[in-house]
Chains A and B, each alone.
Chain A
Amino acid sequence: MIEAQNLTRRYGDFTAVHGISFSVNEGEIVGMLGPNGAGKTTTIRMITGFLPPTGGRVTVAGKDLFESPREARRQLGYLPENVALYGEMRVEEYLAYRARLEGLSRADAREAIGDAVERCLLTDVRHQLIGTLSKGYRQRVGLATAILHRPSTLVLDEPTVGLDPKQIIAIRELIRELGRQRTLLLSTHILPEVELLCNRVMIIDRGRIVAEGTPEELRERSVGNPAVRVTLKNAPDAAAILGSVPGVAAVHPGRSSGIEGGWLVEHTAGTDPREEIFRAAVARGWVLLEMARERTTLEDIFVRLTTHDQAGEAAAPEAPVEVSPALVDDGNDVDEKETAS
């Protein structure tokens, strides 16, 4: 269980996070989305106790992160955005060091290391120097570090970055499994991953939560009219006819350019024009090549919520100063370049 209340973080005059409140319950995987510089990493660093907030409080598994930091941190497993490890250590040695740091007894440590190595698919490289590992393996060593002491709460910042497709599937499976018994907060840029893994999504923009809910809820809430995608052959008068189908609000030429006869049919919520479209096609002898309900992807919602045109910029209350996002980027991205070396 993670509970954040009114978390605020200022860097000088710039406020990176504006009083964010949320909670993540046990057995739940919550995804955190947001464009670069939205305050995701700052928020995560405050939740893990690395960065003290300017205001607000955080409890992890019921322990206040600032009143009893050691107890709270013991319950916490953290995979940072930039996994920095000690290159001169071997994988098992590093994990043994982490186990000692977490205060595990010798016997517990041996068992925990074996378990973490196996779960994070590190068996092949367990005796290899970390400095010689590829990015994907390092990422998994970072993940092994996070789950090593069997914390009740996990915070993973972009856990599948740098993995190959096969490993991604395996690690997602691991995350799903971990999320069943634990509290899991996941930050990622990969939107399909969020749809696959998360029970709940939080979209952060400019230091505020702009949307929160299950992926389904978000889809329903944020998009105007539902739509049906139709591809017709031999239908010269399609636009007019489709427009006259009951419930249809608007007809647009097909989005997928290059396809002759593609149409996007917007209709009012609660109606389903597909049957009528089919009948109209049969009556007029059109060839119906394709008809499907247009699913709003999380990507659409994400783009809609986090794109700011000039007008939106002016209308938004307390809009941060133009130069400010650069400041956040600075703090977060500097390490990124450096860890690469």
Chain B
Amino acid sequence: MQSLGLSVEGLNEGEISIDITPNRPDLLDIVGFARTLRNFMHYKERLEYKLTDPNPVLTINVGKNVSKVRPFISSLVVKNLNLTDESLKYIINFTEKFSETFGRKRDKLAMGLHNLSKIKGNIVYDAKLEGKFTPLNESREMTFKEIIETHEKGVAYAHTIKGSYYPLLEDNDGILSLIPIINSNRTKVTKDTKEMLVDITGTSQYIVEKAADLFACMFIDLGANVYRVKISYGKKSIITPRMETDIIEIKPSQIEDQIGARIGFNNIISLANKMGYKALFVNNRIRFFIPPYRLDIINDQDIIEDIAIGYGYEFIHPISLFSEVIGGRLEESTKTNRKLIGLMLGLGFSEANNNYLTNEKINFEMMRIEQKPHVQVKGSKSENITMLRTWLLPSLLGNLGASAHEKMPQKMFELDLVFNIEGEEVKESYHIAGAYASPKINFNDIKSIVTSLFHSLGIEDFEVKEESIPSFIDGRCARIASKELKGFFGEIHPEVLNNFGIEEPTVAFELELPF
């Protein structure tokens, strides 16, 4: 499994759980999964899927009203079905999973299965403002509105109904399905169903058509016969499943150049078969036939990846780049930060590593300051997370509070990003802050620390002015500013100390760095 790129999540007592990557919906189907493994192990490879009869066996007419709500439909007819309870369970399970994941909770794509023998006359795909029918496994008729509001499936998929029109599928006898929510009980599929109509609806024509191909392959693998359906959009019509085999041609050298291994023509063809492609060597190129069930192949790059997987990543030997090992360098901000960290350690301050995410209570309220514009997050899963911090001191005071019972004196600093909103713009800038708690400490201790930082950075020309910030004791707080650096320092207000659980006098500073 691992060599196929599937990660094994659990292994116990004959059971194995596998994580399917979202690009391979064909592997969500147990039949498709078996097909892929069979090919990979070169055991009964199946590289081609063909329909016995190219002509459509029935027609679905598309009405005008769906064009704005859920414009596209594809369909197929399955005959000679031979179901068991188990295989029916698998098929239903897969359609549900497929619509949920690949279909993005049925928004992008959803599908329904009907007992074809119960369908009478013309089939129409359209949308209506209202209507009623007996939903699957229900004993009474329900209106659309009732279904949306009270039925389990209706509530779960109400989000797919964007306007006042309800997409639906109907025949001469009435509604077959409220799409993409629930089918009618009339056409319910059981293990005794021999003929099935499959409808696939969604917002992208390409995707609903490709999905029809995928389901056709699944039913063919199950031993049933698949027939085409004509979809008529008024004047225009298409036939699904198309079952066209897309062809992509790639030069072998291009494959080898992407992977970085000499693989060889013949070997590439055999690896292609292993990955489920029919492949031929034509005019110095390899012609790959994309199996109809593959919805993820956009172009040559995707096929090359499959060849690499078939080859085995563990057999790709690392090859050194001929790069000149010069020109490696740190950002200027990293270099300056390292100098500042050196100074702070020299001053006896230990480094903190705090979260950027915080909340208004910590960032503003506990610091006794007014809120100002800040970066706010939506729909957080944690109550404590509502915003990005606008300054560092709340985090540092939190650290000192958590360390209240450690030995005194305590000195901590942090140098990292803070986030402010200036005008309409988010301003991300580096700050440095230090907090110093000790039974014997006063304003001058922090002032001398800050001025020594300025002097050590070669800044002689700076100004210190009295400042009033409610986080600090009034009259014991100052603003310091030079061309390069600005900030403030002082003695923390006892109410703030109480808020953070700090038990000793604390002085602190915070400076905004010029990058």
Is B truly associated with A? no
> Which residues of A are at the interface with B, using a C-beta cutoff of 8 A?
none
> Which residues of B are at the interface with A, using a C-beta cutoff of 8 A?
none
